Amino acid sequence: MSTQRAQRVAETIHKEISSLLIKGLKDPRIGFVTITSVDVTSDLRQAKVYYTLMGSQEDRGQTQAGLNSCSSFIRQHLGRQLRLRFIPEIVFEYDASFDYGQNIERLLSEVKTDEQQDD
């Protein structure tokens, strides 16, 4: 199994899940979610779907629960679209890189403000 195939499957999963989220899943717990990346194992048995959203920690928990409850529906949809022997098990994980970037931006802003006050 080539990693190139796993990458193609990951891209397709990314596209399909993103389109499902745009069309709107019926779970009210799922807010405005953006899929940032998808990693598929080389045997195509598991796909980690990384997502981010704007909101509080409580919103993240509700969204995680909503996505987990919709995972079987998403796998069925992927089964119709991908035509693979085995449909990857979908695991949703929150992508904290956006939060990390915002924290760095805040720290840089504070340093800049402190430097301006010292001058």
Radius of gyration of the chain (CA): 18
The pLDDT, as a whole number, for residue 119 is: 64
Distance CA(79)–CA(114), nearest Å, equals 55
Total structural domains within the chain: 1
The model's confidence at residue 7, banded by pLDDT at 50, 70 and 90, is very high
Per-residue pLDDT at 69 exceeds 60:
yes
The pLDDT of residue 2: 56
70-101 as b/e, with b when 16 or more CB fall inside 10 Å?
beeebeebbeeebeeeebbebebebbeeeeee
Give the range of the structural domain holding residue 112, as residue numbers without chain letter.
Answer: 3-118
Q: Closest by alpha carbon to 30, among 17, 41, 42, 11?
A: 17
Let me know: does 98 contact 52? Beta carbons within 8 Å: yes
The predicted pLDDT at position 16 comes to 93
CATH number, domain containing residue 82: 3.30.300.20
